[in-house]
Structure 1
Amino acid sequence: MKIALVGYGKMGQAIEKIAVERGHTIALKIDLDNRNDLNETKLAAIDVAIEFTSPHSAFDNIMELLKAKVPVVCGSTGWLDKKEAIDEYCLQQQGAFLYASNFSVGVNIFFELNKKLAQLMAHQTEYRVKMEEIHHTQKKDAPSGTAVTLAEQILQNIPLYKNWVNHSTNKAEELEIISERIDPAPGTHKIRYSSEIDDIEIIHTAHNRTGFATGAVMAAEFLKGKKGIFGMNDVLGF
């Protein structure tokens, strides 16, 4: 495949390494210095684009790629208030779009564990749920997209909780998420159910960016030649 990398920071470089190892070509790299190269002429020969940028630029980047009829794999977080517009435009264009808050296979298994545990704990009102997430100091959004996904899964399955907050709270209906930014942590997510009798805890800790990069390339391989809206559940067959 000929891949366009939109965003060439540490994550983009990790994706490049995995993509080349898997036999693909990085035909275009877009960063702050050459944003104007994100146009239909430069994108004409691209099979799939992988977009990892910032909350402020992701929406415009995705729209440009879909306009050019390029399938898009997006891992940027912090912009999901506009995702409905992206989905609608993708379908209008008969394009292909795959978003994930986290592309790691391990994290997506963790998502499934989180949903199942929340379902089991739905009516165990003696337990209080709290979340913690740790990332490196360059992480621009807090809580992380992964933490938001985990929190939304808990809200969908435990009736007590009505919303999440990114600070300590004593309100029964609020799900607490505590965010820390510590170098060089790639990412840790912890969910704890606590009662006076015991604690139940699940944790995912990333050791490096390889898992995220591998999952993103797998998603690009999956998306080539398809049309529609997809997620990592589709890639992994969950």
Structure 2
Amino acid sequence: MFSNEGTDAKKARGIGEAIGLDGYSQEVRDEVAAVRKIVSDLHAELPKWELVVWTAGNVSQRLTSADLLVIKPSGVTYDELSPEKMVVCDLDGNLVDGDRLPSSDTAAHAYVYRNMPHVYGVVHTHSTYATAWAARAEPIPCVLTMMADEFGGDIPVGPFALIGDDSIGQGIVDTLRESRSRAVLMRNHGPFTIGKDAKDAVKAAVMVEEVARTVHISRQLGEPTRIAQKDIDSLYARYQNVYGQ
């Protein structure tokens, strides 16, 4: 089963034919089935929280049993998604299993997984307020305790990069390596978030839009007050290590 896109078009996009999962163990195939459902279900959270329009945005999760990821297929609307339509790629972004083309952001997700081994979930949206900050190439300042809790400081801006190869992934990794934040605003593009799994990354995507909106509104009233670094550190440590335990 393959997409209707012709072989020449696939080659132009650097996409090979799916090799399937027959060569993988039953453990891997079982995890693929489970993660396909997880990723499919989590995509419903993006329109629910008004983070995407039409077919924009994507969620992926990396497997624990093999160097594979599951991601949304390209150009499929959210109400058409199902576990069976999720596609499986290797960590170089090559299609392994699925009858549709993977998201155009797959190379970015794959690069993050290759270079940040603690990350098992990646989300990309074009949520309105976070993307507006990205269009200004301006970090979101840490002026809310919610930001200190969740992101450990400012939400940084990553470099401008074109879709088509792993340049966006490189920008994500280079930016987040120097930050406690689980979100980055890629300049003129939009937010990418990372997490311990896809659900964690979706949570970060929801939170980054909320703080982007709140800080924007605050700035309409005047200059918001930054939180002192020692207080940010204290809030972050408590939320990450004590809260909910």
TM-score (norm 2): 0.25
Higher relative contact order (CA 8 A, sep 6+): 1
- Report the structure, 1 or 2, having the larger helix content: 2
TM-score (norm 1): 0.26
- Report the structure, 1 or 2, having the larger strand content: 1
